[in-house]
Structure 1
Amino acid sequence: MAFDQHSYDVNSREVGSFRKLPQLWEEDDSGNKSMATDRLCFSTNYHQVEQQQLKDFHTLDALFLDNTSSFRSYEHQMQELANIESQYSELIKPKTNPKSTQETPNQDAVRYEVSGRKLSTDAVIRLGGERFIQSCSSSMNDISMPSHPYGTSFSGFSDQEARDIELIQNLLLSAEKVTQRQFQRSSKLLDWCDAISSSSGNPIQRLVHYYSKALREKIASESGIISSHGPGKNHVDNIEGRMMTPNPTTVSIYQKLPFFQAGQFSGVQALVDAVAGATEVHIIDLSIKHGAQCIILMQALLSQPNCPIEHLKITAVGTNFKEKIEQTGIRLKSFAESINLSFSFNMAMVGDMLNFKEDLLELDPEEALGVYSSYGLWGMIAQPDRLESLMKVIKNINPRVMVVSEVSANLNSPNFVNRFIEGLFFHGAFFDALEDCMDREDENRAITESQYLGEGIWSIMATEGAQRVVRHVNIHVWRKFFSRFGMKETELSMSSLYQAYLMAEKIPCGSSCTFDMDGECLIIGWKGSPIQCLSAWKFS
């Protein structure tokens, strides 16, 4: 996992390949972009389950909630259904190939979004959603529904594609019955889904398999049945614990899914850019895990021309897994010795993030200070007082930069429908990536899907309140939150952007990894579907 020194020699021709890609997003009235979840709104009696509007959007709790109600008035929803053709023509329009500035002009591009006339997982979800809405509207005799040229039949699709589209349609129907508390009807639909889906099938079958399990858990919970399944309340700790020590699964996923390496190398380069010219560097890592990013950082700092690094200090912040963090430190010290780098490793361990204080960091004014967080903040969204306490300390120490990488999806809405639709697209892209990058029989893929994705889907879809521990939000929410602390988003350098592109190019399936800019934030996706966002911040 050597840092590529050639990345510093960036010429304009190569950078031209790294360009802004079109995206299947839309802007709301406030100018924010979000996945078009309204396209798949359920045709339930919305006046019975209308979401209570959030009154105080200035509180930290409210900031991390999506207060855009999917359950609007029944009449308003009927009007949306009447306009379905124009809405869905946007959803299934051709995407621009990331390697070309030309869009495919023929109609096949409307259906086939990847090479080889194969429907992408994203396209299947959208077409299944279209058929779901059309099936819901068929009983509304008072509305004349226009016929969409591609969504009314399975003509032109393979038998498997037709089954996959129908599978998504019935999964959506089942979720709709859950929102209507028609649990018996929902269960019957899930029986059909379970007969067709599989944890070892194609991406759609695997996606539906885990979403069906989550819906059954939700039915059991809401109907008063005590469930014995699911990951429990320690899911965040379980994920962190698995990531603390290199193991075949985490190593395999890191090596084979291009968006992870792309984000990590780009984020490290943002750190290097911020501390350029300093001979003593101190990086505070909020999510050290097994320290792969630190090894990349060491190599990057040593490769700087005309400015040799004299000493690197890394401080790992944590609330548990002290022994594993110590082991990470030992590995990093050993690597630093092997490349003749003066290095020290500290730990700032607290039982509760409310107890995290500045004096735990052993700061030196002679050091260039940076903060790095790769998926280190989402676990505290359910505990906003802890997150706010952490950010106050970071503001006080005033680092040169804070680099943040998080999931690029809003999976924290208090509204089940919003989470369900957004989750389908996000997890669908992830299952699609696993299909392209790993063999179906790969044990590490099975572990990833069951222990990471499956348990996450369970938490997002089947739980509510304090029990729902998996809470991801998009860059727009993070911007609002960071603005509380006087943080200003800073531009990622061309070297940082090029690192992302370069790493994706080096992985066999990296051509499906896409890049886009949302303001100063880099959105790394899979075939156009956002997966993670990378941003750099400074304090005013």
Structure 2
Amino acid sequence: MIPFDRFGNDVDNQEMGSFGKLPQLWQEDDTGNKSNATHGLSFSSEYHEIDQQQPLKAFHDLDALFLDTTPPFPRYEHQMQELANIESQYSELVRPHANPKRTKTSPDVVRYEVSGHKLSTDAVIRLGGEKFIQSCSSSINDISMPSHPYSSSFSVFSNQKAKDIELIQNLLLSAENVSQQQFERSSKLLNWCDTLSSSSGNPIQRLVHYFSKALREKIANETGRISFHGPGKEHVDYIEERTLSPNPTSVSVYQKLPFFQAGKFSGVQAVVDAVAGATKVHIIDLSIKQGVQCTILMQALASQPTCPIKHLKITAVGTNFKEKIEQTGHWLKSFAESINLSFSFNVAMVGDMLDFKEDLLELDTEEALAVFSSYGLWGMIGQQDRLESLMKVIKSINPRVMVVIEGAANLNSPNFVDRFIEALFFYGAFFDALEDCMDREDEDRSITESVYMGNGIWSIVATEGAERVIRNVHINVWRKFFARFGMKETELSMSSLYQANLVTGIFSCGNSCTFDMDGNCLIIGWKGSPIQCISAWKFSSG
């Protein structure tokens, strides 16, 4: 959901100024020839298995399509439910995702084994959820005091971890009170959360800090108080503009968080596989940003030992910031010259995606056509007509492949608390990764957490309806949507899977990245928590 892009290096993996090193998309065989890497890897297929054979339902509109896919959060009236009943409804909150590094060792405690035996943010959230369930099952007449006794099974944790678990517990209690319009109770819990959370503390403290701010904003919105934050769509546009411009924060985060690079390399390899053998290639990029995926693609195409490419054309599609996109194009032209690649760059700029038409793309029948979308669709999830119009145009041009990279989370539920829980896990994984890969005092980390993460959390938690601009959905929802346009999900090659694994290997924290297969879709996660999904699609001939 937060794409941080930066330029790659030349084909020899040399440094270009301050542009950081990126691994090659190829390897040399025993004869010294360059070829695509096809090492066999073992990928888990346990993540969210879906029966793709079941018939698709008819949807009245796109909003109905993007409904929640998680179990409902229970609604309490004036009395709590029995613990067993609550546990069954909250099972998704406390049940660990399938992951070889996680084992359940007792009925009461889930022990999460990660590198260094450090308790992950995901683990703390789940344990906090377990305490939340236990507290909700108790007969509490006044919850204004956030002290809830721990069972003996939680005594194994350090004092700090116990406080972190209780932070999550009381944050969840506050969210539940907001959903029941018990705003005074929620505010008292948030006062306690604010005392123990901090924008400069450990990952849980930082996570709770921003979720607490968002809950306060939601309370202000629903009680008619004056909003003190409210970035809205204007701030989202500001973030988009930042990602289009080279800046130290995006450079630093892209260089230090392995899953961003892993997703880019895997997705680009899927494009390379689809256009193999073509001498003229045309890429339609729906979210060009700083063009890092383009430099990776250029290196891969220019290094092909057979059937050398004669010309690469890239068309960037956009609705805003034309000058920024053109600057990216100028840099890409310089990069292409440095590796002796014949290259042209076009911009298909429209004021509204409804105006995007095939004749803007300057198509040539001799070109092998592909579409690349890295976080280019989520912004239209709440705009049914725009997204459908775009897909109709893509279907009409019939590319060899459409590669889609999106966030692997359902942040679009109309149910506030379901959306809150999903966002807590999703952003929790990011805060955990930032803790492991960047220093706490790192200014770029602080900017990332406050500007990108903080405002994403604000949009998901504090806003409703059209005002809620940050949205993501699971891959199974995209499958149902793409099926409307005759799109068939294709299998990623072993080369594509290998690229993701290869990239993470160059990072000191790369072993915390996890890879799962959901059907033909690659899910890249952090310590088992899904972060992004990479999928490839073709249009049926019928």
Fold conserved between structures, TM > 0.5? yes
* 1:169/1:31 CA distance change after superposition, 3 Å: farther
Q: Aligned letter for 1:60?
A: L
CA distance in 1, matches of 2:233, 2:58: 28
Cα displacement (A) at 1:65: 2.2
Cα displacement (A) at 1:90: 9.6
Matched, 1:521 2:521: yes
Contact 1:236 1:379 in 2 (8 A): no
Candidates 19, 22, 27, aligned match of 2:43: 19
Instruction: Tell me whether 157-166 or 74-83 shows the greater mean CA deviation.
Output: 74-83
CA distance in 2, matches of 1:465, 1:248: 34
Gaps of 5+ in 2: 1-7, 14-23, 29-34, 142-149
CA distance in 2, matches of 1:209, 1:529: 21
Alignment map for 1:384-423 (pairs within 5 Å): 384-423=384-423
* 1:217/1:109 CA distance change after superposition, 3 Å: closer
* 1:376/1:89 CA distance change after superposition, 3 Å: closer
CA distance in 1, matches of 2:195, 2:524: 34
Q: Which whole-Å deviations, capped at 9, do the CAs of 1:139-172 have from their partners, x for residues lacking one?
A: 199xxxxxxxx96543110111000000001101
Alignment map for 1:46-195 (pairs within 5 Å): 57-66=59-68, 70=72, 78=81, 81-82=84-85, 84=87, 91=94, 96-97=99-100, 110-139=110-139, 153-195=153-195
CA distance in 1, matches of 2:93, 2:205: 26
Match of 1:330 in 2: 330
Give SS of 2:110's match. helix
* 1:317/1:503 CA distance change after superposition, 3 Å: same
* 1:304/1:211 CA distance change after superposition, 3 Å: same
Contact 1:94 1:104 in 2 (8 A): no
Q: Which whole-Å deviations, capped at 9, do the CAs of 1:508-533 have from their partners, x for residues lacking one?
A: 11100000000100000000000000
* 1:197/1:26 CA distance change after superposition, 3 Å: farther
* 1:151/1:260 CA distance change after superposition, 3 Å: farther
Q: Which whole-Å deviations, capped at 9, do the CAs of 1:161-185 have from their partners, x for residues lacking one?
A: 0000000011011111111111111
Give SS of 1:427's match. helix
* 1:121/1:221 CA distance change after superposition, 3 Å: same
CA distance in 1, matches of 2:46, 2:115: 18
CA distance in 1, matches of 2:378, 2:26: 32
CA distance in 2, matches of 1:449, 1:119: 21
Alignment map for 1:238-277 (pairs within 5 Å): 238-277=238-277
Match of 2:481 in 1: 481
Q: Aligned letter for 1:391?
A: M
* 1:105/1:167 CA distance change after superposition, 3 Å: closer
CA distance in 2, matches of 1:517, 1:476: 13
CA distance in 2, matches of 1:116, 1:88: 28
Using the size of structure 2 for normalisation, the TM-score is: 0.87
What is the aligned residue count? 502
CA distance in 2, matches of 1:484, 1:171: 40
Cα displacement (A) at 1:21: 6.1
Cα displacement (A) at 1:97: 3.9
Instruction: Tell me whether 163-172 or 58-67 shows the greater mean CA deviation.
Output: 58-67
CA distance in 1, matches of 2:45, 2:370: 30
* 1:130/1:229 CA distance change after superposition, 3 Å: same
Alignment map for 1:362-401 (pairs within 5 Å): 362-401=362-401
Q: Which whole-Å deviations, capped at 9, do the CAs of 1:55-83 have from their partners, x for residues lacking one?
A: 97332221122277725676999367347
Give SS of 1:157's match. coil
Cα displacement (A) at 1:228: 2.7
CA distance in 2, matches of 1:414, 1:94: 24
Q: Aligned letter for 1:525?
A: G
Cα displacement (A) at 1:31: 8.4
Match of 2:18 in 1: none
CA distance in 1, matches of 2:255, 2:68: 34
Contact 2:71 2:92 in 1 (8 A): no
* 1:289/1:83 CA distance change after superposition, 3 Å: closer
Contact 1:131 1:152 in 2 (8 A): no
Cα displacement (A) at 1:442: 0.5
Match of 1:6 in 2: 27
Contact 1:263 1:534 in 2 (8 A): yes
The answer to which structure, 1 or 2, has the higher relative contact order (CA under 8 A, 6+ apart) is 2
Gaps of 5+ in 1: 33-54, 142-149
CA distance in 1, matches of 2:50, 2:399: 33
Give SS of 1:230's match. coil
CA distance in 2, matches of 1:392, 1:31: 24
Alignment map for 1:352-367 (pairs within 5 Å): 352-367=352-367
* 1:324/1:89 CA distance change after superposition, 3 Å: closer
* 1:371/1:77 CA distance change after superposition, 3 Å: farther
Q: Which whole-Å deviations, capped at 9, do the CAs of 1:357-414 have from their partners, x for residues lacking one?
A: 0000000000000000000000111111111111100000000000000000000001
Using the size of structure 1 for normalisation, the TM-score is: 0.87
Match of 1:307 in 2: 307
* 1:331/1:478 CA distance change after superposition, 3 Å: same
Match of 2:345 in 1: 345
* 1:193/1:250 CA distance change after superposition, 3 Å: same
Q: Aligned letter for 1:286?
A: L
CA distance in 2, matches of 1:352, 1:424: 33
RMSD, aligned CA: 2.8
Q: Aligned letter for 2:40?
A: V
CA distance in 1, matches of 2:256, 2:336: 26
Cα displacement (A) at 1:245: 1.3
Cα displacement (A) at 1:463: 0.2
CA distance in 2, matches of 1:92, 1:59: 33
CA distance in 1, matches of 2:96, 2:261: 30
CA distance in 2, matches of 1:452, 1:409: 16
Q: Which whole-Å deviations, capped at 9, do the CAs of 1:251-275 have from their partners, x for residues lacking one?
A: 1111111110000000000000000
Give SS of 2:348's match. strand
Give SS of 1:281's match. strand
Q: Aligned letter for 1:194?
A: D
Instruction: Tell me whether 79-88 or 116-125 shows the greater mean CA deviation.
Output: 79-88
* 1:73/1:193 CA distance change after superposition, 3 Å: closer
Cα displacement (A) at 1:118: 1.9
Cα displacement (A) at 1:497: 0.5
Match of 2:201 in 1: 201
Contact 2:46 2:518 in 1 (8 A): no
Cα displacement (A) at 1:10: 4.1
* 1:254/1:94 CA distance change after superposition, 3 Å: closer
CA distance in 2, matches of 1:318, 1:90: 38
CA distance in 2, matches of 1:470, 1:283: 27
Give SS of 1:533's match. strand
CA distance in 2, matches of 1:152, 1:85: 22
Cα displacement (A) at 1:234: 2.2
Instruction: Tell me whether 120-129 or 232-241 shows the greater mean CA deviation.
Output: 232-241
Contact 1:127 1:151 in 2 (8 A): no
* 1:26/1:422 CA distance change after superposition, 3 Å: farther
Contact 2:25 2:37 in 1 (8 A): no
Cα displacement (A) at 1:292: 0.6
Contact 2:45 2:518 in 1 (8 A): no
Identity percentage of aligned residues: 73
Q: Aligned letter for 1:58?
A: H
Cα displacement (A) at 1:89: 11
Q: Aligned letter for 1:228?
A: F
Instruction: Tell me whether 285-294 or 221-230 shows the greater mean CA deviation.
Output: 221-230
